[in-house]
Amino acid sequence: MLSKEIDGRLPIYFDNACQTLRPRQVLEAVSEYYESFPACAGRSVHKLATEVSLRCDDVRAKAASFFGADDPSEIAFMKNTTEGLNTVIMGLPWEKGDEVVTTDYEHNSVHVPVLCARDRFSLKHRVVRSSEDLVFDLGAFEEAMSKKVRLVAMCLTSNVTGCTLPAKEIVDIAHSYGAMVLFDAAQAAPSMRVDVGGLDVDFMAASAHKMLGPSGVGLFYARSGSVGSIPPIMCGGHGVVDTTYDSYTLLPPPERFETGLQNYSGIIGTGAALDYLSSIGLDDVRAHEAMLNSRITRALRGVDGVDLIGPADPNLRGGIFSFNVRSLSPHDVAMILDNSKNIMMRSGMHCCHPLFHALKVQGCARASVYLYNTSEEVDVFSESVKGLAEGFRKR
């Protein structure tokens, strides 16, 4: 998909867990907005504004169907996953002593708002520890549950290991204790069906930029029966029915969560991304990722000096291969592969600092593949990592 050479070589883009590339259809949808109807939805009544309103309504309906929501009004456009997660974690009508349960590998976008809410509302935070190979432990989760738990906030697919939670079991157990469930689906939504209706989950947040869409669009699901009176993080124009000098009345969801002028080109581009993904089919996306990840794992399994982060079985790790090369820092690994082969990866703590502190490692390098990556690219990557491990073993 990246067709421009850098230093005489095509880039190998393996940073898909950060942002994916965008197909031409998405770029065209974004351009069409600016070229043909660059107006504002839901305010002015002229033809261009009406066109934007209709297009955004259409994307909302598409997103509802993509995620199996009962009604489009359960989908709100936000600027990213983080905004959706904060809306729930900071906005629930907490009572002192309520408990919130997370995993030990949350992204900071769940972890930090949970700690802020804990301090602000005097909550208790319970962390479910994973097994030794960093797989979610359902038994440990059940032990953490009690009637005091108000919210289970969990990363559906880990951005470090690529492992996915047993979502339905978690929702059923949480509901049996009267707790609500919020899934951080930033990494799950790009490559598996997150069927919010079928799962019966209360809240879910994802980002378009990780699923072929433009930057700056978050997709937030709040089940109509669960959203209650959660207030928006930001208040202002467009989110209200009426205001007087001393009062305001918020609109119901989703409009109350969409205050101020929205990212219309991004929302419309997101519609094109959802169409593109639907036409390929998420099962095929997942199967392709699994094929590539198995190929990497076969090539690097048992290579002296390469340490995998996560379970050995590639089928548990989606499109993510996180690793360290012994005696090199993760950033060195990423920079060497970038400089020598144009392999673009992420390195560091991946916004999961507590997990790496617990593992007592300074982070890792992460190769994350997606639907357009090829076996040839994977082979270049695996050979390069092998070469690196060999080179530094001899020192």
Ligand X SMILES: Cc1ncc(COP(=O)(O)O)c(C=O)c1O
Alpha-helical segments (H) within 228-352: 264-280, 282-300, 330-341
Tell me the C-alpha distance between 323 and 347, whole Å.
10
Residues 199-228 interacting with ligand X (rule: CB under 6 A): 207
- What's the gap between Cα 379 and its chain centre? 27
By beta-carbon proximity to ligand X, the closer residue of 81 and 342 is: 81
**The one among 20, 53, 82, 293 contacting ligand X by CB under 6 A:** 82
Cβ atoms of 216 and 266 closer than 8 Å: yes
Nearest to 148 by CA among 199, 90, 101: 101
With binding defined as CB under 6 A, does residue 107 bind ligand X?
yes
User: Starting from the edge strand earliest in sequence, which strands make up the sheet with 75-78, in order?
Assistant: 75-78, 218-222, 203-207, 180-184, 149-155, 99-103, 124-128
Least distance from C-beta 44 to ligand X, angstroms?
30
Residues 159-178 interacting with ligand X (rule: CB under 6 A): 159
Name the 3-class secondary structure at 6: strand
Least distance from C-beta 340 to ligand X, angstroms?
26
**The one among 15, 184, 258, 289 contacting ligand X by CB under 6 A:** 184
By beta-carbon proximity to ligand X, the closer residue of 11 and 84 is: 84
From 119-127, 181-189, 190-198, 235-243, give the range in contact with ligand X by CB under 6 A.
Answer: 181-189
The torsion angles phi and psi of 183, rounded to 5 degrees, stand at -105, 130
Tokens for 206? 């994802």
Known catalytic membership, residue 351: yes
Tokens for 15? 């940073």
Tell me the C-alpha distance between 20 and 208, whole Å.
9
By beta-carbon proximity to ligand X, the closer residue of 218 and 254 is: 218
Least distance from C-beta 80 to ligand X, angstroms?
3
Cβ atoms of 325 and 364 closer than 8 Å: no
Q: Which residue is catalytic, options 116, 163, 351, 364?
A: 351
From 75-83, 232-240, 251-259, 378-386, give the range in contact with ligand X by CB under 6 A.
Answer: 75-83
Residues 367-386 interacting with ligand X (rule: CB under 6 A): none
Size of the site for ligand X (CB under 6 A): 11
Least distance from C-beta 160 to ligand X, angstroms?
9
- Name the residue type at position 371: L
By beta-carbon proximity to ligand X, the closer residue of 81 and 226 is: 81
By beta-carbon proximity to ligand X, the closer residue of 183 and 276 is: 183
Cβ atoms of 87 and 226 closer than 8 Å: no
Nearest to 78 by CA among 230, 201, 191, 242: 230
With binding defined as CB under 6 A, does residue 109 bind ligand X?
yes
With binding defined as CB under 6 A, does residue 103 bind ligand X?
no
Residues that bind ligand X (CB under 6 A): 80-82, 107, 109, 155, 159, 184, 186-187, 207
The residues that are catalytic are 351
